Structure 1
Amino acid sequence: MSITHNVELVRERIAAAATAAGRDPEAVTLMLAAKHQPLANLVEAAQAGATTFGHNVVQQLQESTAGMREAGFTTTNTVIGPVQSNKLRAAMDNADRIDTVDSLKTATRIARRQEARISEGLAQGPYPILIQVNSSGATTQSGCHPDHLLDLAEGILELDLVRIDGLMTIGANTSDEGRIHESFALTRALSEAMRERLGLAAATELSMGMTGDLEIAIAEGSTIVRVGTAVFGQRPRP
């Protein structure tokens, strides 16, 4: 099946899941995971109406951002993988947000880089981020420990040039749907606590759910689902 058809199928899944949860389907953003996808695939997805792309690889972020612009598409691009310090400048210059901040050290680097971008005339105001939470407890997954989330958010709040837009997590990697629900419900509860206790009323984004568990994530309040395989098929090797 074509990428265009697959985008439509995923949109139908999102709409059905949101309706079942008593939510507005328009409240859930479809983010396409672009890792190692050729530009032609991203262009086809954009032609099908996709507007938001998540990137794990900074070099590809740079290349695809330029390529999509040349193809006539205005897209929202985020970083959904770890960013090495030597790639931070390129990441921030090409991404609208970094969704994988899990330490005060990383947030501080972003603040410093944003200060330089502002002095160079490349930016205005704080740089937006999502805090990544390790909601499943898996040692193979990145993210701050749930018990440390509020302290981390409070520390980031002291950085004038970083803006917390919400939280991001990867659901529990298991066939046990109960455990997947638990990991997403925990992230939602942390989001609610962060907004209430720290006065972050606008930090409403919850990036949760991928191809295999997006319905569960939407039921638990996700506002962004990150989908790759269901649209592009199995990821090509670099």
Structure 2
Amino acid sequence: MKLVEENIASNIYEIKEDIKRYSPHPENVKLIAVTKYIDSDVMAQLLEVGVNIFGENRAQLIKEKYDAFASEGIKGIEWHFIGNLQKNKVKYIADFITLIHSVNKLSLAAEIDKRAQQNNRVIDVLLEINIAGEETKEGYRYDELIKDIPELIKLKNINIIGLMTMAPHSSDETLVRDVFKKLREIKEEFNDKYFHGNLTELSMGMTNDYKIALEEGATIIRVGRKIYN
């Protein structure tokens, strides 16, 4: 157990140093520990080294983990949903989730809005955009999102605070960088046209590409394997 703790502490330190090195505004960057394959013992170790934002991609599993920590009186954790969210699973997370990264259709946004209202909450969300147009990935196509924005911004119990994307798993750094740059440009465009500067977050970059994402303005990076190896 001690070895795991030392590895995690060392890896977290390295990632935080990378944030300082590669981000133009490191003070604005949040590190999400992807914990979808991690048990509560290791998550407790993350808390010990100052990481309190956990990212999960299954609604019932994140609910179980939330309940486990809450039952022990452990507070101060941010719970982020980072995977493809089905409408019928929103009810499991609506009363506690901090941020949903993956709003990719109007019907999902409407369900989150409904469940948030039932829980007397306003839930922060990101709009997921499939920049590279990959068939195997979820996310709005740009033209589809443009059509939905007028309805999205009418929803009173969701707070759209930014955008999210996943770059192709590629060794071509130019391709990866272009995806992240495009998301940043869309954020700037949307802030001018629709959101009056209220889009502040760019969730982009994972273990393989977070350094490039940071250079292109990521404010949230989602890291899993790099933390635990």
Normalising by structure 2, what TM-score?
Answer: 0.92
Structure 1 partner of 2:69: 68
Structure 1 partner of 2:147: 151
Structure 2 partner of 1:236: none
**Within 2, Cα distance between the matches of 1:73 and 1:113?**
23
Percent identity of the aligned residues?
29
Q: 3-state DSSP class of the match of 2:171?
A: coil
1:50 aligns with 2:51: yes
The alignment of Structure 1 onto Structure 2 pairs a total of residues equal to: 223
**Within 2, Cα distance between the matches of 1:24 and 1:62?**
33
How far 1:73 sits from its partner (Å)?
A: 4.2
Structure 1: 4+ residue segments shifted above 3 A: none
1:178 maps to a residue whose letter is: T
Structure 2 partner of 1:87: 89
Q: 3-state DSSP class of the match of 1:35?
A: coil
Contact 2:29 2:219 in 1 (8 A): yes
Q: 3-state DSSP class of the match of 1:74?
A: coil
Aligned equivalent of 1:6, options 11, 14, 17: 11
Instruction: Write out per-residue CA displacement over residues 120-162 of structure 1, whole angstroms, 9 at most, x where no aligned residue.
Output: xxx3xx3211000001111111000123333333320011222
**Within 2, Cα distance between the matches of 1:26 and 1:153?**
30
Structure 1 partner of 2:3: none
Q: 3-state DSSP class of the match of 2:94?
A: helix
Contact 1:133 1:143 in 2 (8 A): yes
Structure 2 partner of 1:127: 123
Calculate the aligned-residue CA RMSD, in Å: 1.5
Contact 1:100 1:131 in 2 (8 A): yes
Contact 2:97 2:123 in 1 (8 A): no
Query: Is there any run of 5+ residues in structure 2 with no aligned partner, and where?
Result: 1-5
Q: How does 1:163-202 map to 2 (within 5 A)?
A: 163-202=159-198
User: In 2 relative to 1, CA 116–143 (structure 1 residues): closer, same or farther, beyond 3 Å?
Assistant: same
Q: How does 1:19-30 map to 2 (within 5 A)?
A: 23-30=24-31
1:101 aligns with 2:106: no
How far 1:196 sits from its partner (Å)?
A: 0.6
User: In 2 relative to 1, CA 178–79 (structure 1 residues): closer, same or farther, beyond 3 Å?
Assistant: same
**Within 2, Cα distance between the matches of 1:200 and 1:168?**
18
Query: Is there any run of 5+ residues in structure 1 with no aligned partner, and where?
Result: 234-238
**Within 2, Cα distance between the matches of 1:165 and 1:133?**
14
